[in-house]
């Protein structure tokens, strides 16, 4: 896909991986990017302003992806403003940090909260965007996680939700073919401000240890993940696939 003249929506686009993807889309020539957010209003507006400086149009749009009516309104607003939709990046997500052995902590509220955003939210966005993406021969990239592949991650619920995103990606790649391509990216540990807000010292130690255990001796940045997203956006012959971005850590025993 040549991105010139194209319109994209990036959920959770104001910070971290979402922001990096927004910047990559704009630099590749996307006409406009809708920077979705649910809580990070200031960050989303700053990101939108950065995209405008790069010469593209951008707006920050508040919508909770776990609320289907808000998702539909966001898609409708993008179409009303720009007349088309070509790219959907489902990046919005949430988690709880719960030790995997602590099964009693996995309450219904935890399951519902994480699944509503990570899995149902991704589906709501795909379903709402599908009619417009069919018209333009568009593409979807879902942000999953290595936790969806392995027995790891911030909690069991998070891991299961991301495994669901992987299967949803494959299923939608068939359901929306041949008009819309659907792929996913599974980051490992990514160096982000979000990770450091909980414990900066622990984050530094985790990154150092992870880097030492990877073949590339490095931890991914948000832009590394954005590069993988863009590879799927731009390649017109790939659908139903997932790529892991973790410096090769997942190939080791």
pLDDT, one tens digit per residue, over 90-121 is 999 999 999 999 999 999 999 999 999 999 99
* Rounded Cα–Cα distance for residues 16 and 156 (Å): 23
Show me where the domains of the chain are located: 7-241
Phi, psi of 192, deg, nearest 5: -140, 160
Phi, psi of 139, deg, nearest 5: -145, 150
pLDDT score at 73 = 98
Non-local (6+) Cβ contacts of 145 within 8 A are: 153, 158, 159, 162, 165, 186, 187, 188
Pick the CATH number of 7-241 from 3.90.1410.10, 2.40.10.480, 3.40.50.720, 1.10.3080.10: 3.40.50.720
pLDDT score at 203 = 72
Among residues 37, 82, 124, 158, the one annotated as catalytic is 158
pLDDT score at 204 = 79
Residue 115, preceding bond cis, omega within 30 degrees?
Answer: no
What are the residue ranges in the chain where pLDDT is below 70?
Answer: 194-202
Cα torsion 208, 209, 210, 213: sign = positive
pLDDT score at 193 = 72
pLDDT score at 194 = 65
> Known catalytic residue: 158?
yes
Residues 88, 125 contacting (CB under 8 angstroms): yes
Torsion of CA 192, 195, 199, 200, to 10 degrees: -10
pLDDT score at 10 = 98
């Amino acid at each position: 896909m040549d991105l010139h003249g194209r319109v994209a929506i990036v959920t959770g686009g104001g910070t971290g991986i979402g922001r990096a993807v927004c910047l990559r889309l704009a630099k590749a020539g996307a006409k406009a990017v809708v920077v979705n957010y649910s809580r990070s209003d200031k960050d989303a507006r700053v990101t939108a302003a950065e995209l405008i400086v790069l010469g593209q149009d951008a707006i920050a749009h508040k919508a909770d992806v776990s609320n289907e009516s808000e998702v539909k309104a966001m898609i409708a607003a993008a179409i009303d403003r720009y007349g088309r939709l070509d790219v959907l990046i489902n990046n919005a997500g949430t988690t709880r940090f719960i030790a995997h052995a602590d099964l009693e902590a996995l309450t219904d509220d935890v399951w519902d909260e994480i699944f509503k955003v990570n899995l149902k939210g991704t589906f709501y966005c795909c379903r709402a965007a599908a009619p417009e993406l069919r018209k333009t021969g568009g593409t979807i990239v879902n942000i999953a996680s290595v936790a969806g592949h392995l027995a790891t991650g911030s909690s069991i619920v998070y891991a299961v939700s991301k495994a669901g995103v992987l299967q949803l990606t494959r299923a939608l790649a068939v359901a929306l073919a041949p008009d819309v391509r659907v792929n996913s990216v599974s980051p490992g540990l990514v160096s982000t401000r979000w990770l450091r807000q909980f414990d900066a010292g622990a984050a530094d130690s985790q990154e150092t240890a992870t880097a030492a255990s990877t073949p590339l001796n490095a931890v991914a940045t948000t832009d590394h993940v954005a590069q993988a997203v863009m590879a799927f956006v731009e390649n017109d012959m790939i659908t139903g696939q997932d790529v892991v971005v973790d410096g090769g850590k997942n190939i080791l025993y």
